[in-house]
Amino acid sequence: MEDFLRPIYQERASHSNTLGIVMVEKEKPVSPITDNFDVILMIVVRESESPWFVKHYEFENQRAAMHIVEEKQLKEWIDTSGYRKVLEWLLSGKIVFDRNEYMANLKEMLREFPDEKRNLRKVIEFAKLIRSYRECRSLYETKQYLDSFSQMVRSLHYLARLAVIEKGLHPEVTVWKQVKQIEPEIYKLYEELIESHEPMEKRVELMLLASEFIINSRAKISSKYLLDVMVTRDTWSIGELKNHPAVQPYALDLSALLAYLVERDIVEVAKTETKGKNIYHRKYWV
């Protein structure tokens, strides 16, 4: 396999713009990690006309995909889990070219999972969890039980990913395999939701109650990345927070997260007058 691809990646390795190349081979007949390609080549470059460029190849009834990824795009994926497969490519892939140990150092950073990057990932997953949980509760209260069930599965998935990050690990595509080993309490909730013989609406009701306590117990620590931003100023409008660079990765879920933190008395609201009579701006502070 590598013999066929060597001319392709060696040509790329000769470019001074190329930082490193990783090869990932398919290990199972059905391989979501490689999108069922027999091999993935990921080439990391300093700069490119396109942040992410893909080519597909075929040779002797085998298929390969080459991903050329700009360094800035790769770091964004790593920080926000924007493209989860990339993390597994980096962690499990074979380095076939490495300029100044760039790929080796990147792999080591991923294994260490520094606190700052871990806290960012926590707040991203927690914000998604809050939005999903609230949608589930709303659907349940309007008796949309099938939709509320689907939303509860999604909520537990976010909770599972959050639990994995708390342990200092990166969530894999097979996240429930990880959770079963490191957080059996959350895995048990998932089992009860999926396998219980109770009526669907009863299962969702029980999960809403059980997961609410788990969510509330994680609120402060999971929101630390946002709270650390907010303490740098006296008050923030929603617009000011949304535009802060540290909030951009979870800006779409910020309103739901803020509303939850206000309800939990973790964030306070200050009202400031507007030109309209009895109309106030809402400002937020910690």
pLDDT digits (tens, 9 = 90+) for 139-161: 999 999 999 999 999 999 999 99
Residues 144 and 258 in one domain: yes
Give the pLDDT confidence score for residue 278 in this predicted structure.
81
Where a domain ends, among 48, 82, 112? Answer: 112
Give the residue carrying structure tokens 């080549």. 41
Count up the domains in the chain and report the number. 2
Q: For residue 99, what are its two tokens?
A: 């300029």
Give the pLDDT confidence score for residue 59 in this predicted structure.
87
Give the pLDDT confidence score for residue 84 in this predicted structure.
85
Q: Is residue 277, in this structure, part of any structural domain at all?
A: no
Residues 228 and 191 in one domain: yes
Give the pLDDT confidence score for residue 34 in this predicted structure.
92
Residues 263 and 226 in one domain: yes
Give the residue carrying structure tokens 């294994």. 111
Q: Can you give the CATH number for the domain in which 190 is found? A: 1.20.120.330
Residues 62 and 132 in one domain: no
- DSSP letter at 167 equals T
Profile the chain (286 residues) by mean pLDDT over runs of 10 residues. 80 94 91 91 95 93 94 94 89 94 94 93 97 97 97 97 94 88 94 94 96 95 97 96 95 96 96 83 94
Residues 144 and 243 in one domain: yes
Q: Can you give the CATH number for the domain in which 81 is found? A: 3.30.460.10
pTM of the model: 0.89
What is the residue-averaged pLDDT of the chain? Answer: 93
Residue type, 92: S
Q: Which long-range contacts (CB under 8 A, 24 or more apart) does 24-28 make?
A: 24/88, 24/89, 24/92, 24/93, 24/94, 25/1, 25/94
Residue-number span of the structural domain to which 194 is assigned: 115-272
DSSP 68-116: EEEHHHHHHHHHHTSSHHHHHHHHHSEEEEEGGGHHHHHHHHHHH--HH
Residues 75 and 147 in one domain: no
Residues 217 and 106 in one domain: no
Q: Which of 180, 172, 181, 207 is nearest to 193 (CA)?
A: 207
Residues 122 and 89 in one domain: no
Alpha carbon distance 57, 55 (integer Å): 7
Residues 24 and 86 in one domain: yes
